[in-house]
Amino acid sequence: MCTYFGFEDRIFMQHISRKRFLKGLVAGTAGLALTGCTARESTTGKDTPGILAGKTYRWNMVTTWPPNFPVLGEGCNLFADWVSQMSGGQLTIKVYGGGELIPALEAFDAVSSGTAEIASGASYYWAGKNAALQFFASFPFGLNAQQMNAWLYSAGGQELWEEVYAPFNIQPFPGGNTGVQMAGWFNRDIETAEDLKGLKMRIPGLGGKVLKEAGGTVILSPGGEIYTNLERGVIDAAEWIGPYHDYKMGFHQIARNYYYPGWHEPGSTLEIIMNKLKYDSLPGHLKEVLKTACARLNMWMLSEFEAKNAEYLEIIEQEGNVNIAPLPQPVLEKLKTLAAGIIDDMAEKDPLSKKVFTSIRAFKKRMRPWGRMTEESFYLKM
């Protein structure tokens, strides 16, 4: 997935299906400026009895997603609705897409400083703040969505997350997951690890570092430029998320191979981060409202991605213009070995990264026998 989607008014697309998908990225901006959260606030208190008569709270939410971006931006709007409804209007949140109030990648600093009370993003966006942060989103050959939730909610991950964010005055919560992503779109056949050498690929984060170690060239570009870069041969391959977004972006029209699985992002956790001072100052019941809404968003977003990706994979298969295939096992083994070396080196250089990764590695080792008896066995025999 991209470290910043980069969809703004400058996006120019050639195909109608892609235009329809991207229309929502910019269409909401003018309306938001004129109407604010009128539709959302109009329901405040009407369908839900007031929980408390007393102080009300008005928060601003900044996001790394374009306004109303499918699933990701939509989820933020739903989150704000849920909070308003559950609090009986005592806490309302106005959502700003990336670039509307502040640049998308300034969301972390905005929440840390209190300029905005709350934000939606992914922790690997802030790796420059502390390398350990990226483990709470996704990393190559890491945990899938179910395992990430289990680690965060029930095996100490949330507490470690709060420890890493504490110096930044931020309270984090899980706020969505993409599920296992696809490995990406390729205009080169990948049959052996040698085929990765010289491969020009748009792939960010630790996955990009692994590809570079394998002999590839990493070319970072915002989402709005991927289609053009693939079409013109600036890049040979690109990763995004999964069939739903990928189809709407039109990648199936310009790339011949669609490889899986997403070794680089096996279960990307998205986050809701809050200014800790503002969060701690809330009454206890409003804290519970926020935590409950985060948990609901976490489940809704994963469910939405799973359902939409299954639907659009079927569409891509039916159109029959793309070779959908697994990456060869020797290629995955090579990438896995390189990833382990990179992560171990990172952990050795940073004590906090080592502490977090030690917890994840122990959890994954403990989960492996259980997963083989249950999930893996079920899928192999169903």
Residue 96: per-residue pLDDT: 97
Residue 341 has pLDDT above 50, yes or no: yes
Burial tier of 164 (Cβ tally within 10 Å: 0-12, 13-18, 19+)? buried
Residue 263 has pLDDT above 70, yes or no: yes
Residue 2: per-residue pLDDT: 52
Residue 322 has pLDDT above 90, yes or no: yes
**Residue 6 DSSP SS3:** coil
Residue 382: per-residue pLDDT: 78
Mean per-residue pLDDT for 163-185?
98
Mean per-residue pLDDT for 325-331?
98
Give the start-to-end residue ranges of the domains of the chain: 16-180+266-308
Residue 268: per-residue pLDDT: 96
Residue 20: per-residue pLDDT: 53
Q: Amino acid identity of 137? A: A
How far apart are alpha carbons 146 and 158 in whole angstroms?
A: 15
Overall fold of domain 16-180+266-308: D-Maltodextrin-Binding Protein; domain 2 (3.40.190)
Average pLDDT, the chain: 88
Mean per-residue pLDDT for 20-31?
44
Q: Give ∠ CA 379-331-227 in degrees, rounded to 5.
A: 90
What pLDDT band is residue 220 in, cutting at 50, 70 and 90?
A: confident
Residue 4 has pLDDT above 70, yes or no: no
Mean per-residue pLDDT for 139-158?
97
What pLDDT band is residue 245 in, cutting at 50, 70 and 90?
A: very high
Residue 193: per-residue pLDDT: 97
- Counted residue by residue, the chain has a size of 382
Residue 49: per-residue pLDDT: 45
Residue 147 has pLDDT above 70, yes or no: yes
How far apart are alpha carbons 347 and 340 in whole angstroms?
A: 10
CB 87 within 8 A of CB 286: yes
What pLDDT band is residue 9 in, cutting at 50, 70 and 90?
A: very low
Residue 381: per-residue pLDDT: 84
CB 22 within 8 A of CB 60: no
Mean per-residue pLDDT for 107-115?
97
What pLDDT band is residue 320 in, cutting at 50, 70 and 90?
A: confident
Helix H or strand E encompassing 67: none
**Residue 217 DSSP SS3:** strand
Mean per-residue pLDDT for 96-113?
95
Q: What is the dihedral of CA 234, 236, 242, 244, to 10 degrees?
A: 60
Residue 212 has pLDDT above 80, yes or no: yes
Q: Amino acid identity of 34? A: L
Residue 333 has pLDDT above 70, yes or no: yes
Distance set, CA 284 to CA 87, 113, 363 (Å): 12, 23, 31
CA-based end-to-end distance of the chain? 30
Query: In the chain, pLDDT over 90 holds for what percent of residues?
Result: 81
Mean per-residue pLDDT for 218-236?
90
Residue 8 has pLDDT above 80, yes or no: no
Mean per-residue pLDDT for 272-301?
98
What pLDDT band is residue 5 in, cutting at 50, 70 and 90?
A: very low
Residue 178 has pLDDT above 50, yes or no: yes
Residue 21: per-residue pLDDT: 57
Give 354-375 as a 3 state SS string. Answer: HHHHHHHHHHHHHHHHHHHHHH
Q: What tens digit of pLDDT does each residue of 28-72 get?
A: 333 333 333 333 333 344 444 444 457 999 999 999 999 999 999
Query: In the chain, pLDDT over 70 holds for what percent of residues?
Result: 86
Residue 35: per-residue pLDDT: 31
Residue 272: per-residue pLDDT: 98
Residue 278: per-residue pLDDT: 98
Mean per-residue pLDDT for 314-336?
96
Residue 115: per-residue pLDDT: 97
Q: Is the dihedral of CA 119, 125, 128, 129 positive or negative?
A: positive
